[in-house]
Amino acid sequence: MKALILAGGLGTRLRPLTYYLPKPLVPLLGKPLVRHIIDPLPAEVDTVILAVSYMKDALEEYFRTHDVGRKVILVNEDQPLGTGGAIKNVSRYLDGTFIAFNGDVVCSIDLKDMLRFHRSHGGIGTMSLWQVEDPSAFGVVGRDGRGRITAFQEKPRKEEAISRAINAGVYIFEREILDHIPDGVVSMERQVFPNVLDRGLHGYEFKGYWVDCGTRESIIAAQRTLLDLGGGKVSPELIQEDDATVVGANLIMRAHLRGCRVGPHVYIEDDVLVSRGAEVSESILLRGALVEEGAKVRGSIIGPGHVVAKGQDVKDEILARS
């Protein structure tokens, strides 16, 4: 079986980090976002197709140098074709039933169970659904009693939303879906889903966790969720001196903490130095970042090699080379 990952978006909401790193390679607890999708795929998926465009060379390099245990095919779009156009553009690789993912979704979905659901309900496809309090930033579905989707609204106003069940960005499709995607730049959400409801599109709701890692807030929320579930870890190569304290669940690699306070929910990569009097919480410090004396970093992503200056107060920001 084939799995298709949409990985060609510009990731504008994660700039300036995504000027240097395509969103699928942004690390979440030491693993690129795209690996959080690939690694849990069921064994019957032997081939992963990545629909790429923006920064495709970096993605090619990653898959050339990392074995992910499955065949990986990268298919380029000269211009981003949108979520529907990207699926149509890989038609030649798709045979029977396939799984498709928005490339920035990290969740606890049980794909084997979703496949069973799809096979028993039939129809052109199955869309994963997640319950939220405010669905106004998402695609919202209405369903009948048998789980069949009867209406689809993209980003409705909160008071106009027909339910709180949102499109969670993981799908199982039959190849027939391709017949309903026009050529060119096409949005699945706006131009395809509303038009295939009569072909049988079912909603599969799941529980556990779901995070769309398209923004700084959501990546930090995903990190918090995974750290609370997994308990965190500190590398034996971490250098901790001058009473540096680490609180709560964190993932800290081969870094250097000197007289500072780190945690909770912090991910720190190799060769990072956090200096005396500095405080870091709910944040990501990428390889070689430097937090100088007395600086504060909260809710932020600090890019590779970036320096947070002495006494600087960084809150809810993405800082990277610019």
Q: Which residues are catalytic?
A: 155
Segment contacting ligand GTP by CB under 6 A, of 11-19, 106-114, 174-182, 216-224: 11-19
User: Is residue 235 part of the contact set for ligand GTP (CB under 6 A)?
Assistant: no
Site residues for ligand GTP, 147-186, by CB under 6 A, read: none
* Per rule CB under 6 A, count of chain residues that contact ligand GTP: 21
Q: Residue with the closest Cβ to ligand GTP? A: 9
User: Is residue 203 part of the contact set for ligand GTP (CB under 6 A)?
Assistant: no
User: Is residue 6 part of the contact set for ligand GTP (CB under 6 A)?
Assistant: yes
CA distance 20 to 121: 43
- Which 8-state DSSP code applies to residue 282? S
User: Is residue 9 part of the contact set for ligand GTP (CB under 6 A)?
Assistant: yes
Structure tokens at 247: 């609180």
Pick one of 2, 23, 56, 202: the residue that binds ligand GTP (CB under 6 A). 23
Structure tokens at 177: 């879906």
User: Is residue 37 part of the contact set for ligand GTP (CB under 6 A)?
Assistant: no
Compute the least distance from the CB of residue 23 to ligand GTP, in Å: 6
**Cβ atoms 317, 217 nearer than 8 A:** no
Beta-bridge partner residues of 252? 234, 268
User: Is residue 103 part of the contact set for ligand GTP (CB under 6 A)?
Assistant: yes
User: Is residue 82 part of the contact set for ligand GTP (CB under 6 A)?
Assistant: yes
User: Is residue 189 part of the contact set for ligand GTP (CB under 6 A)?
Assistant: no
CA distance 281 to 261: 8
Q: What is the phi/psi pair of residue 202, to 5°?
A: -105, 155
Structure tokens at 66: 């990392």
| Run of H or E residues at 114 | helix 111-121
CA distance 166 to 153: 9
Which spans of this chain sit near ligand GTP (rule: CB under 6 A)?
6-13, 23, 51, 53, 77, 80-83, 86, 102-104, 214
